[in-house]
Structure formats: structure tokens, C-alpha cells
Structure 1
Amino acid sequence: MFAVIRTGGKQYSVSAGDTITVMALDGVAGDKVVFDEVLFVEAEGATKIGAPRVEGASVAGEIAEQARSPKTISFKKRRRQNSKRKRGHRQDLTLVRITAIEAGA
């Protein structure tokens, strides 16, 4: 059984037991989260495709940890003008362990 969910403007294909990295969610390690925006569910050979969501379907998970991405460097240089700019950025991320998938009615 697997599902496709949408969170943080991105889509993720998940199965029970998977650990996914998503954009920052509120909560601490051990908190339960529920993703209601399920776009696709495959269970026992039957598929359900949402338009835009599958009614009654949800994916439950547990926050494993709050983390940050590796530093991304944005460097801009303009040639022959002695002009350059270096900026770094680290995105806040949440690791979520998928515990259950409800296919809905």
C-alpha cells in the first residue's frame, strides 16, 4: 500500500514505515501529524485517484526529528567590476516517519 501526499507545496510518494524529509512542520520529536491532502492511494491492487484529493483518505505519521539542510551558498560575481556577493542559507526541515495509511471509503 502506498499513497501520494502533498505538503509544503511538494508531492511525496509514501508507504508505511518510510521516513520522509518535508518542509518545517510545527511540533517536536514524537508528535503525531496527519496529512489530509492525499492525491493518490493504492491498496490491495485497487487504486483511487483524487480530483484533486481522495475523499476520506489520510496518512498518519510521527515527527522523528527537526533538522536543518546543509548550507547552500549563493555566490554572485560581476566580472571586471570588483563586485561580488556571498550569502549562505540553511532551510528548516522535519523528518517524518509514516505510521499508517487510511484509504478512505
Structure 2
Amino acid sequence: MFAVIKTGGKQHRVAEGDVITVGKLSGDAGAKVEFGEILAIGAGEDVSIGAPFVSGASVAAEIVEHARGEKVIAFKKRRRQNSKRKRGHRQDYTIVKIVGLSGAKN
């Protein structure tokens, strides 16, 4: 069984036992979170697709840890103007483990 969830403006295809990286969520490691915006859920030919979300469906997950992504450098230079700017950015992420899927069938 799989589900397509929406979190942090992105969509993720998940199944029970999967470990995924999503945008930062509030909560400590070991805390339970529940995703309610389920776009599709099912197995094989028996898939429920929402419009836009499947009513009554949810995905339970557990926060494994909080992490940060690789540093991204934004460097701007204007040639012959003695002008340059260098900025760095590291995105905050949360690593979650999917522990359960529950949803309505058509």
C-alpha cells in the first residue's frame, strides 16, 4: 500500500516503513506527526485519488531527527565594478519514518 502526501509544498510517494526527508517540522525526535493532506492512497488497481485530497485518509509518521542540508553559495559579481557579494544558505530538514497509512476506499 502506498500514499502520495503533500507537505512543505512538495509531494512525496510513501509506503509503510519508508524514511523520507521533508521540510522542517515542529517537534522533537521520537515525536509522532500525522499528515492529513493525502492526494492518493491505495494498492495496485485499488487506488483512491482525491479532489484535491482524499477525505478520511491520513499517514502517521515518527520524527527520526532534524538535519541541515548542504551549504549552497550564492555569488554575484559585477565585472569591472569592484562589486561582489557572497551569501551562503543551509536548509533545515526533518527526517521522518512512516509508521502507518489509513484511508478510505472508493
TM bucket normalised to smaller: over 0.9
- TM superposition shift of 1:44: 5.4
Percent identity at matched positions?
A: 61
1:90 paired residue number:
90
Deviates more, 1:90-99 or 1:42-51: 42-51
Match of 1:30 in 2: 30
| RMSD, aligned CA | 1.0
Q: How many residues align?
A: 105
TM-score (norm 2): 0.94
Provide runs of 4+ in structure 1 moved above 2 Å.
Answer: none
What residue is the counterpart of 1:13 in the other structure? 13
Partner residue in 1 for 2:80: 80
Question: Post-superposition shift, 1:43?
Answer: 2.6
Distance 1:61 1:19 in 2: 9
Offset from partner CA, 1:12-67 (integer Å, 9 cap, x none): 11011111111110001100000000000123530100000001000000000011
Distance 1:15 1:80 in 2: 54
- The unaligned stretches of length 5 or more in structure 1 are none
* 2:69 aligned residue: 69
Deviation for aligned residue 1:79: 1.2
| Counterpart amino acid of residue 31 in structure 1 | A
Moved more, 76-85 or 42-51: 42-51
1:81 Cα shift? Answer: 1.0
Give the Cα separation in 2 of the matches to 1:53 and 1:90.
Answer: 31
Question: 1:49 aligns to what?
Answer: 49
CA distance in 2, matches of 1:90, 1:41: 33
Give the structure-1-normalised TM-score. Answer: 0.95
Is there any run of 5+ residues in structure 2 with no aligned partner, and where? none
